[in-house]
């Protein structure tokens, strides 16, 4: 039995209670979930002055994808909504495919955020449902995930200045199809949703056998939400711990080792994971087993290399810094972003480039020890070169009129602890 339509409408309206944008984007593939979302948003907000704009990402991976995008365009036009088709033009060839689903997901978000920016759309609604929550929970149980892995997808997240909102996380896939059937609305079924080569499809097929045991979509999604609440609490205490024992210095995070040793395992783990991500710029956290080894090494004053970062303990202080090897070939013009996190400004630009200082460059900085920063930290910091000649190393006591600044300030490290 499904809940009445008015409950679904109320759920959607509740997601916009705090702020209803004048222009709202919605990503619609043509499948039942996103088609229902488009109709629900129209029913909720079309009469209150909200302009709803629709985007369909055509990945070009199936012969019917173009026709499906045109079907969405027709449905959007009937509702008086503007519609754009976003083509994935740089998709990999057959020999380059790799994890095609993951690449398509990354491309989809990049296309949607770019579309939103170009059209002055601050919020884009996505059609993830309670079923997606339940399936993800089961998939991650199979990987022995911790609290974060088992947590619900967030209701909203910011990406490239655009808010991605998921208004249907409490609504089941079947409820949405009932909603569409009641209004005689069409949708398409992606054939890949029945392809058992994909893990999510196998999990979806197995869920029918779990329901008689009480492991229904609704209950599994509720568990994911409960884990999400636990994650938020752990994130808060991680934030407080970081405020107490960590600082940003020369692009590294410096942690008081004595205080770090007193932290509960989960808080210490989270602090170190987020530190590695912030320093390396990685989107995904390192796997848990090597992170546990890194955590233990830090507690005992040892060194460790992981995820493009080095962990070095000196005088009861652990420096989590960028590893030199991953940035050894990084090159940028002065004033441009280097390694995704630094900008270098100063004198003459012509003929100069920004590269890592490296061990050879450090030899040309006789005063680097005065900063009381480990040499390994400085080796991965930006320096100005003219071919093989070191012009400046702003963080190693050889500024020569140049300065290096982080794109993200130190405060953003701490706020990032609360935003994952």
pLDDT interval class at 93 (50, 70, 90) = low
- Of 160, 192, 223, which residue is a domain's last? 223
Q: Which residues are annotated as a binding site?
A: 29-34
Residue 401 structural domain: 324-410
In a domain, residue 171? The reply is yes
Pair 157, 43 in one domain:
yes
In the predicted model, what is the mean pLDDT of residues 135-158?
A: 91
Calculate the dihedral angle through the C-alpha atoms of 266, 267, 273, 274, rounding to the nearest 10 degrees.
150
Angle, CA of 355, 357 and 361, to the nearest 5°: 125
In a domain, residue 17? The reply is yes
Report whether 137 contacts 223 (CB < 8 A): yes
- Of 223, 250, 267, which residue is a domain's last? 223
Query: Would strands 23-27 and 51-58 be described as parallel, antiparallel, or unpaired?
Result: parallel
In a domain, residue 242? The reply is no
Pair 160, 22 in one domain:
yes
Give the lowest-confidence range in 22-36, 96-110, 173-187: 96-110
pLDDT digits (tens, 9 = 90+) for 100-121: 778 889 999 999 999 999 999 9
Number of structural domains, the chain? 2
**pLDDT at 197 (0 to 100):** 84
- Of 205, 223, 241, which residue is a domain's last? 223
Q: Which residues are annotated as a binding site for ATP?
A: 29-34
In a domain, residue 243? The reply is no
In a domain, residue 43? The reply is yes
Which distant-in-sequence residues (6+ apart) come within 8 Å of 357 by Cβ? Answer: 365, 378, 379, 380, 381, 382, 383, 390, 393, 395, 396
Residue 6 has pLDDT above 70, yes or no: no
**pLDDT at 18 (0 to 100):** 79
10 Cα distance to chain centroid: 29
Taking alpha carbons only, the member of 42, 43, 49, 44 closest to residue 21 is: 49
pLDDT digits (tens, 9 = 90+) for 27-81: 999 999 999 999 999 999 988 889 999 999 999 888 999 999 999 999 999 999 9
In the predicted model, what is the mean pLDDT of residues 369-386?
A: 96
């Amino acid at each position: 039995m499904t809940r009445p339509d008015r409950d679904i409408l109320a759920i959607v309206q509740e997601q916009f209670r705090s702020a209803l944008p004048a222009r709202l984007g919605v990503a619609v593939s043509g499948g039942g979930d996103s088609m229902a979302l488009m109709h629900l948003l129209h029913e909720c907000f079309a009469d209150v002055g909200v302009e709803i704009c629709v985007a369909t990402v055509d990945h070009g991976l199936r012969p019917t994808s173009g026709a499906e995008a045109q079907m969405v365009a027709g449905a959007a036009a009937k509702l008086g909504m503007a519609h754009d088709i976003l083509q994935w033009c740089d998709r990999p060839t057959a020999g380059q495919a790799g994890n095609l689903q993951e690449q398509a997901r990354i491309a989809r978000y990049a296309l949607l955020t770019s579309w939103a920016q170009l059209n002055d759309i601050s919020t884009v609604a996505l059609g993830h449902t309670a079923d997606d929550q339940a399936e993800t929970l089961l998939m991650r149980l199979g990987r022995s995930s911790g609290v974060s892995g088992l947590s619900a997808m967030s209701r909203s997240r910011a990406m490239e200045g655009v808010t991605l909102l998921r208004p249907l996380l409490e609504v089941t896939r079947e409820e949405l199809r009932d909603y569409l059937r009641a209004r005689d609305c069409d949708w398409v079924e992606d054939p890949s949703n029945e392809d058992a080569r994909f893990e999510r499809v196998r999990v979806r097929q197995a869920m029918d056998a779990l329901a008689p045991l009480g492991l229904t979509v609704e209950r599994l999604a509720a568990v994911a939400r409960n884990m999400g609440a636990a994650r938020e609490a752990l994130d808060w205490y991680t934030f407080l711990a970081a405020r107490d024992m960590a600082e940003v210095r020369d692009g590294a995070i410096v942690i008081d080792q004595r205080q770090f040793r007193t932290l509960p395992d989960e808080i210490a783990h989270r602090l170190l994971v987020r530190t590695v991500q912030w320093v390396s710029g990685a989107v995904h956290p390192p796997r848990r087993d090597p992170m546990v080894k890194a955590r233990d090494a830090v507690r005992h004053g040892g060194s460790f290399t992981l995820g493009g970062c080095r962990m070095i303990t000196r005088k009861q202080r652990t420096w989590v810094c960028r590893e030199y090897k991953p940035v050894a070939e990084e090159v940028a013009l002065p004033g441009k972003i280097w390694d995704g996190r630094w900008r270098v400004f100063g004198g003459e630009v012509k003929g100069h480039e920004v590269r890592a200082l490296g061990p050879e460059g450090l030899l040309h900085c006789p005063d680097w020890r005065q900063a009381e920063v480990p040499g390994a930290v400085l080796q991965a910091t930006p320096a100005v070169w003219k071919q093989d000649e070191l012009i400046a190393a702003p963080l190693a006591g050889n500024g020569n009129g140049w300065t290096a600044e982080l794109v993200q300030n130190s405060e953003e490290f701490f706020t990032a602890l609360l935003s994952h």
